[in-house]
Chain A
Amino acid sequence: MVAFIRELLRYRTEFRIGLALVAVVLLLSMMASFSPYPPDSVYVVPPDLPPSLTYWFGTTSRGQDVFWQVSFAIRNTLLFGGTVALVSRLVALAVGLVSGYKGGWVDRALMSVNDTFIVIPLLPILVLFYFVMRDRISWLMLALIMACFGWAYDARLIRSVVMSLRQREFTQTSLFSGMTTRQILTEEHLPYVVPILFSTTMNNMVWSIGLEVTLAVLGFTDINTPTIGGMIYWANQHTAMVAGIWWWIAFPTIAVIMAFIGLFLLAVSVNAHIDPRSRLWSTGEAS
């Protein structure tokens, strides 16, 4: 693992940039533990101050320090995206591998469920969830709901890959050597779909964070938990842009864009490096 990361650092410029960006964002999110103020307290600092040496990112109209707010917000947003990605990847992987390998009625049953999830319009459903649950909706619950909707496309993608792997000679050989279905799927096919899994994880995080920001900006989430979307929601409520409090919107936006780009570069470079063919190509070219 260490050797792998060292190789990545040495040969992949995207990986270095991505790692730097993600490191900055992670550092920022970890700072939240050292915040002098609880995240939901208001009027703890003088309101509407521009960025200065005392208040690095300025203060909000609600009397909060933007730096600490961004720190809490980016932490919650990353946790949210990570949870959605993790849960939905597990479902997508299980459904895709089994459906693609088994075929027949198992495939038909799983894919009819899968297609149902693909055609459901997501945003109205999430808004509906919010109106039914109201204040009981926590970020964890929202994450689980989105994970339930986020696996379907990628399960189909993984299924299509496994369907072709099923016909390959090495699968026939594993079958002939007496490996069980579980062993074939986890030991022979899983390594093949891991790179795909990486890039879909990235897409999924971007999708879920984006959707969460959308919902939060519209006020359809638990707005008391600071998230990037939640901060923008409050800034809009206080007409920050009209009042000239640009730093209230600018810093959370910059933070989330850094997270997006950093994660994207990491995923792309790790993805390219996991595939032995493209790894040889890049290391061969560099050395």
Chain B
Amino acid sequence: MHASVEQPHGDQEAQPLLVVRDLQAYYRTSHAGVRRGIRAVDGVSFTVRRGEIYGLAGESSSGKTTLIKSIAGAIKPPLEIVGGSMEFAFLSGYGGLHRAARAELERIRWRHLSYIMQGSMNVLNPVRRVRSSFVDFAYPHIGGSLKQFEQLVVAHLARVKLDPSVLTAFPHELSGGMRQRAALALATICRPGFIIADEPTTALDVVVQKEVLGMIRGIQRETGSSVLFVTHDMGVHAHITDRLAIMYAGRLVEEAATAEIFRNPLHPYTKNLISSLPRIGEDAPRAGLAGAPPNLADPPSGCRFHPRCPLASEICCREVPVMREASSGHRVACFAVNGGDGA
């Protein structure tokens, strides 16, 4: 997978598609009177512009999925939004999908916002033909006659290089890659303005992965939509995203254009992350980062990375670093980078 990275395109001055401000999403459980809170997302702010692919990277249990669940409004107990807001360009005044009125949600779903789920090759009902899944999930949001809808589906399937005959097949008769592409077609058939993609290619081998990524890119270009792309695979990020945010233990630590992150990582965590990536021609063993990600039920004080950070100083244990612009469009949350007072 090569690391060619497109510069963010589209109108920078245009109204952003999604503004997330200081989002806090906790899992709150109560067992036998003992209350526990898992601070899975704690004070995350970022902006997704129109027509860009915004990447979100981070290791397992860093809160990526919780963050996009919150954005998609898929909030079920024990997950709770404790604070912050999420403003969409197509939905103003609610501060997030979870507070939106039902009628508004009906209007938005699929047409403006769609969601390619983790394990998206399983979004098709295993005991129904692929056509039924399309009719059940997407048809109510498009309307018109069923015949027109079918023509639309066939045309859209061609875009992901699928034969119309897959419509009469059962999901188990298709290969993993075909199911993945069918899921992609299902998520994009209404040409939504905003697509949330949660590890859409994780289960695929690299060849199919590249193909599917190319299709996501193609559809995104064609429809001008924005994509929030989540994966832990840095190679995929390098391949597809315009801007990239790195998440660690429920907080964003760095955000910049993808090329910038790979070329000039500033946060010590990002530096370690980037230097851990294998490069062609280098056979020196990679040094790992000591320690393990913290338990989010009882996160470290101050900067959550300080127990593992080679640059940690006394202030890191006391205060939480805020995201500051280190250079134009490159934000980072680190006292060592931004200056010791954190101001």
Pick from B115, B118, B125, B170: contact of A170, CB under 8 Å: B125
User: Does B127 sit within 8 A of A, measured CB to CB?
Assistant: yes
Report the bound CA distance from A169 to B202 in whole Å.
15
Report the bound CA distance from A168 to B172 in whole Å.
15
Report the bound CA distance from A192 to B128 in whole Å.
8
Report the bound CA distance from A277 to B136 in whole Å.
22
Q: Which residues of chain B have C-beta atoms less than 8 A from A169's C-beta?
A: 117-120, 122-123
Interface centre among B105, B127, B132, B140 (most CB of A within 10 A): B127
B136–A174 CB distance below 8 A = yes
User: Does A176 sit within 8 A of B, measured CB to CB?
Assistant: yes
Known: A172-B74, A176-B74, A178-B109. A191 touches B138 (CB 8 A): no
Using CB atoms, name the residue of chain B closest to A188. Answer: B125
Number of residues on chain A facing chain B (CB within 8 A): 19
List B101-118 residues whose CB lies under 8 Å from chain A.
105-106, 109-110, 115, 117-118
Whole-angstrom distance between the Cβ of B182 and the nearest chain A Cβ: 12
User: Does B137 sit within 8 A of A, measured CB to CB?
Assistant: yes
Q: Which residues of chain A have C-beta atoms less than 8 A from B141's C-beta?
A: 177-178
Pick from A177, A179, A183, A276: contact of B127, CB under 8 Å: A276
Report the bound CA distance from A170 to B126 in whole Å.
9
A179–B105 CB distance below 8 A = no
- The A interface is mostly helix, strand or loop, or mixed, namely helix
B136–A179 CB distance below 8 A = yes
Using CB atoms, name the residue of chain B closest to A274. Answer: B127
Report the bound CA distance from A65 to B106 in whole Å.
67
Using CB atoms, name the residue of chain A closest to B74. Answer: A176
Whole-angstrom distance between the Cβ of B176 and the nearest chain A Cβ: 13
A177–B172 CB distance below 8 A = no
Whole-angstrom distance between the Cβ of B289 and the nearest chain A Cβ: 32
B172–A276 CB distance below 8 A = yes
11 additional contacts (CB under 8 A) given A177-B141, A178-B105: A169-B120, A169-B122, A174-B137, A177-B110, A177-B140, A178-B141, A187-B136, A188-B125, A191-B125, A191-B128, A276-B173
**Pairs of residues from A and B, 9 with the lowest C-beta to C-beta distance, nearest first:** A169-B122, A177-B137, A173-B123, A170-B125, A178-B109, A169-B123, A191-B127, A276-B170, A192-B127
Could you write out 18 A-B pairs with CB less than 8 Å apart? A169-B123, A170-B123, A170-B126, A172-B123, A173-B115, A173-B117, A173-B186, A177-B138, A178-B105, A178-B109, A178-B110, A179-B137, A179-B140, A183-B136, A188-B136, A191-B128, A192-B126, A280-B173
